[in-house]
Copies of this chain bind each other. A is one copy, B any other.
Amino acid sequence: MLGLMQDWPLLVHKIIDHAALYHGEREIVTRSVEGPIHRTNYREIALRARKVSAALDRLGIKPGERVATLAWNTWRHLETWYGITGCGAVYHTLNPRLFPDQLVYIANHAEDKVMFFDITFADLVAEIAPKLPKVELYVCLTDAAHLPKAKIPNLVAYEEFIAGASETYEWKEVEENAACGLCYTSGTTGNPKGVLYSHRSNVLHALIAAQKDAQGISSCDSVLPVVPMFHANAWALAFSAPMVGAKLVLPGAKLDGDSICELLTNEDVTLSGAVPTVWLALFQYLEKTGKTLPHLNRVLIGGSACPRSMIESFETKYGVQVIHAWGMTEMSPLGTLGTLKHNVVAMPYEKQLDYKVKQGHPVFGVEMKITDDENNELPRDGKAFGRLKVRGPSIAKGYFRGEGADAFDSEGWFDTGDVATIDAEGYMTITDRSKDVIKSGGEWISSIEIENIAVGHPDVVEAAVIGVRHPKWDERPLLIVVLKPGKTATREQILDYLKGKIAKWWMPDDVQFVAEIPHTATGKIQKTALREQFGSYRLPTAAE
């Protein structure tokens, strides 16, 4: 027997309609790519989003077709998202930090029909456009006066594109499971793979993200997403902020300490979200200028692990609560958040910090477990570490065009590719990537944990640990180190430094010094390249 409740599909344009109707005058402030600060509101955003829908519809864009954006966080980018989904199409965010060849691969794989881009990326677009046969129109997110001179075919300025379109366009009614957004993950191996969000997953994700123990976002917040909209849905903020009627402050192309601090201060920002490197730059700026963060109440930090010292500085020096978060493009992206549970709140601050450096606990809507290689669930004791698997309504069940199917099992669990512990309180800690974990005599050694300790040595700039073949133990850890210029720490000094900080059997069998460690386009250590580089390397212990 079915319930008798309304069939009200969860569609993202209902979010912007709600914002327009109940928070219509709430501001959206942007540092425009052209320069000046620009102000609009949800009422205007919703009207102009309808014009985008109407213009795309007029162009012949059909429901389900992909429309790319290559853009910073601005009011126009926000309009395109709701405008694209409002006519039933799929917004496809391109990450401008990728190599041009990767962008070409992704845009062709997605079969993008239209590309919206910022003036900043005009040269990049001119470079890749000849290799994108499917793109019929390039819309530069600016007005006619600022249209770049770069040689781009079928180019139109955004303001011209939407000028004649109707602001009373009626959103296309699609089913809630219809595709809505597309974002490619840039793995360290293989081609990027597309995650295809649905209307339902985006709306549920926003509802989940807005919860008190997640973002805790309200109409009284002023929210600055430094995290880009092309980076996994800007951590839901482009949906959760309008959903509750929060003010949005969008940084455009300028993510330096000075620019961010100015917006935080002038726009009374209470909540912001960014990766650790952004905050490091802000700290440097604050220290240099002696400025403070008078309005900021809390920050979401994710993308990579947030150091304990950063959490402490934010909280004790600047009075800003840190919410350490972890997620993945495949998870829309929020997975866990480091908000304090009631019994952790009761602990002394130093003990609280032990929890805050962890990646956090899942809110309702994210299931999580750790398993061994045979899919046996491992204990939640904070010690056992295993493959981290997740399940939920905002988590992918596959990649676009059926790629990477081996990451999904028959019970719906997605293997994150991370190795993690879960403690008794449900707080999760990432200890490694599963392909980087070192399997020594049947036991696992975390490469990341050794790296994190090794970079604490005063002479070390960067460290990477990889597993290399060993006749007796299968694999043993090799520590690869880049020294600071002019520093001379020896193999023995480095190993001595590790002693007592890690288990004896975790001790690297050798240390190799290199001038440089290879990185991916998004700044991660490229361990595949390292494993190749040391493919013929033989451990000194291998003869034992």
Contact = CB atoms under 8 A, between A and B. Distances in A.
A2 interface: yes
A4 B396 contact: yes
Contacts of A342: 26, 219-220, 245, 247
Contact of A8 (B6, B391, B398): B391
Contact of A4 (B3, B8, B15, B398): B398
Given A23-B341, A220-B342, A5 B200 contact: yes
Interface string A1-15: 111111110100011
A169 to B, nearest CB: 19
A208 interface: yes
A195 B5 CA distance: 8
Contact of A219 (B25, B213, B414): B213
A8 B393 CA distance: 5
Contacts of A364: 14-15, 18, 207, 243-244
Classify chain A: how many residues form its interface, as a range: 35 or more
Given A26-B342, A244-B211, A426-B22, A6 B395 contact: yes
* Dominant SS among interface residues on chain A: loop
Contacts of A200: 3, 5
Contacts of A394: 5-6
Contacts of A247: 342
A171 to B, nearest CB: 14
Given A212-B244, A213-B244, A364-B244, A3 B196 contact: yes
Nearest to A27: B342
Contacts of A51: none
A64 interface: yes
A4 B341 contact: no
Nearest to A247: B342
Interface string A439-480: 000000000000000000000000000000000000000000
Contacts of A25: 343
Given A218-B213, A342-B219, A397 B207 contact: no
Interface in A393-425: 393-400, 412, 414, 425
Contacts of A5: 177, 196-198, 200-201, 332, 393-397
Given A6-B396, A197-B5, A393-B6, A212 B216 contact: yes
A332 B3 CA distance: 12
B393 A345 contact: no
Contacts of A361: 22
Nearest to A332: B5
Nearest to A88: B1
Q: Give the residue among A204, A212, A340 with the most B Cβ atoms within 10 A.
A: A212
A365 to B, nearest CB: 8
A302 interface: no
A139 interface: no
A37 interface: no
A90 interface: yes
A517 to B, nearest CB: 34
Q: Among A2, A6, A8, A395, find the residue whose CB has the most chain B CB atoms closer than 10 A.
A: A6
Contacts of A237: none
Contacts of A245: 213, 341-342
A290 to B, nearest CB: 30
A4 B195 contact: yes
A71 interface: no
Interface in A294-340: 332, 339-340
A412 B196 contact: no
A16 B410 CA distance: 24
28 contacts: A1-B63, A2-B177, A2-B178, A3-B178, A3-B200, A3-B201, A4-B179, A4-B195, A4-B198, A4-B398, A5-B196, A5-B332, A5-B395, A5-B397, A6-B394, A8-B393, A18-B364, A22-B362, A22-B425, A23-B426, A207-B364, A210-B212, A213-B219, A213-B244, A216-B218, A219-B342, A220-B341, A220-B342
Q: Which 9 residue pairs spanning A and B have beta carbons closest together?
A: A3-B198, A1-B64, A5-B201, A212-B218, A8-B393, A22-B426, A4-B196, A6-B397, A3-B179
